[in-house]
Chains A and B, each alone.
Chain A
Amino acid sequence: SQQGEEDPQALSIQEGENATMNCSYKTSINNLQWYRQNSGRGLVHLILIRSNEREKHSGRLRVTLDTSKKSSSLLITASRAADTASYFCATVSNAGGTSYGKLTFGQGTILTVHP
């Protein structure tokens, strides 16, 4: 079963607008990560937030984490057409011993940014 569930499944916006994607998960986590995938390509790591962090920034990206609600959000500010891609959240569990860095992915949000 998928640990992370993402909302919305698809998002269409105009260049310059902000894009917000949400992720919910089910079990206790060590960290949560966001990845981007351009069509037909492999995933690229965007940002990692640890379970004891509440907010993190990287350039135009802002990630929040609410462990009490088991949810995270990714905000992309001032979006560009080049931001068009699928975005996935992924969690590393802290249950059951060594995680070996295993990620459990959500189903992703397809973001389309229109020029």
Chain B
Amino acid sequence: DAGITQSPRHKVTETGTPVTLRCHQTENHRYMYWYRQDPGHGLRLIHYSYGVKDTDKGEVSDGYSVSRSKTEDFLLTLESATSSQTSVYFCAISAQNEQFFGPGTRLTVL
């Protein structure tokens, strides 16, 4: 357990509303990642961070933004949620070349 929590764990929202998901870690890891998991696609990288205020885009970043103002928190924001963003979102940290995952957030956009 790498001390990773995600909040909320479940969320239902409406199309067009902004949504922010939070990933919190307790062990001061430098690298953090946001993935989405959808049937038939496995996990796909949305954004990642390699330090405070240092972030970059992943494979499926359109419609998402991130922020990392302190080491322990990595926020994922859907500026205007769409139904195609209904998914399970996982946060991860990297330690010793392994990634450790949070429990996930199930987001439904109606």
Contacts and interface: CB of A to CB of B under 8 A. Distances in A.
Interface centre among B41, B44, B101, B102 (most CB of A within 10 A): B101
Contacts of A48: 97-98
Q: How large is the interface on B (under 10, 10 to 19, 20 to 34, 35 or more residues)?
A: 20 to 34
Q: How large is the interface on A (under 10, 10 to 19, 20 to 34, 35 or more residues)?
A: 20 to 34
Contact of B101 (A33, A40, A42, A92): A42
A41 interface: yes
Given A42-B104, A45-B98, A107-B42, 18 more contacts: A40-B104, A43-B90, A43-B99, A44-B101, A45-B100, A48-B98, A90-B99, A100-B31, A100-B50, A100-B94, A101-B31, A101-B94, A102-B45, A103-B45, A104-B45, A104-B59, A105-B43, A105-B44
Interface of B: 31, 33, 35, 40-45, 48, 50, 56, 58-59, 90, 92, 94, 97-104
